Chains A and B, each alone.
Chain A
């Protein structure tokens, strides 16, 4: 609850932490029950995660999670369940190209949000101050730069082809 008092900690601490909780649950489920997700389920699974993330990126949803208890409950459940768990279970089951696709989508989405929050002359969330909105914009900008630099650097040192796991999944899927 304390995290929601500031836009920056709401968006960049609370939401990622809730997703992280989901990831941890997903990973522990995986080690316990050895869930094997095939590509036909992994890709839709990640798409569910993307849609859920998009939903919570609407300024309106963020406001609603502060105004209405139902939205608050939805936030605390869907972030771990619909984003964290699918990420943990499906990420290893998709191909390198699909991973690249998702990573570029995330980068561009964060970049657009950063630009929007920095440049918007009006407040996008009714519950937060305009300077918090700009701070968040700059934080997102740095985060996105960091992510893109991290993945760009992989171009130089990860020169081996994608892992064997992915290729077997793909073959199963074609049949």
Chain B
């Protein structure tokens, strides 16, 4: 009898702690935890100054009223960032054809603040043919401010021995209040576009301009 009581006790306490440690058995990695947490409750972002590739100083909050897709890159990246950038290009083309194409913006923030100077970002943006009205490449003033932004988004960057960086790659959606509202896999442009259509139709139903 003691055995059964003890076992039950351990099983209950043990599974409860595992339940909480994995957000109800839904998120086993830090990345999935971050996505789940943000989808449940959009989070505010720090008011850090960003500098665009054409030298303009702005804040994330200046986008208020628009939906902003944000990704984190570095211009020297050989592996994953070119793939995210391709997704951004595809996304930009598709969103531009939508009726309400004034309501979105794309923002690529570099986390290699040592190498990616304004002129390098500018060259990078031109090489990609990014329309500066729609798609802004930006950097942050210094490492401390960069860390603030990365922490708020939940991005962890680790330098690799070959000079590249390993980082969690995703496409982040900021809502009209400039809060981080959703995180997508960067390959998932179809899903983003689907969600975007839903977003448009719900705001039409409620007769609100989006």
Q: Do A and B come from one complex?
A: yes
| A→B interface (CB under 8 Å) | 39-41, 43-44, 47-48, 50-51, 54-55, 58-61, 63-64, 122-130, 173
**Smallest CB separation, A106 vs chain B (Å):** 16
Collect the chain B residues with CB atoms within 8 Å of residue A59's CB. Answer: 28-30
**Smallest CB separation, B108 vs chain A (Å):** 20
Collect the chain A residues with CB atoms within 8 Å of residue B18's CB. Answer: 51, 54-55, 58
Do A61 and B6 form a contact, CB below 8 Å, given A125-B29, A125-B30?
no
Chain B residues 18 to 39 lying within 8 A of chain A, measured CB to CB, are: 18, 21-22, 27-31, 33
User: Is B10 in contact with chain A by the CB < 8 A criterion?
Assistant: yes
Number of A-B contacts (CB under 8 A): 71
Top 5 closest pairs, chain A to chain B, by CB: A51-B14, A40-B3, A44-B6, A126-B156, A40-B2
Interface pair B14/A60, CB less than 8 Å apart: no
| B→A interface (CB under 8 Å) | 2-3, 6-7, 9-11, 13-15, 17-18, 21-22, 27-31, 33, 156, 158, 160, 166, 168
Interface pair B10/A48, CB less than 8 Å apart: yes
Collect the chain A residues with CB atoms within 8 Å of residue B166's CB. Answer: 123, 129-130
**Smallest CB separation, B72 vs chain A (Å):** 13
Do A44 and B21 form a contact, CB below 8 Å, given A126-B156, A129-B158?
no
Interface pair B6/A60, CB less than 8 Å apart: no
Name the CB-closest residue of B to A55: B21
Collect the chain B residues with CB atoms within 8 Å of residue A60's CB. Answer: 21-22, 27-30, 33
Contacts A60-B28, A64-B30, A127-B158 known; 16 new A-B pairs at CB < 8 A = A43-B6, A44-B3, A48-B14, A50-B14, A51-B13, A51-B17, A51-B18, A55-B18, A58-B22, A60-B30, A123-B168, A124-B28, A126-B30, A126-B31, A128-B158, A129-B158
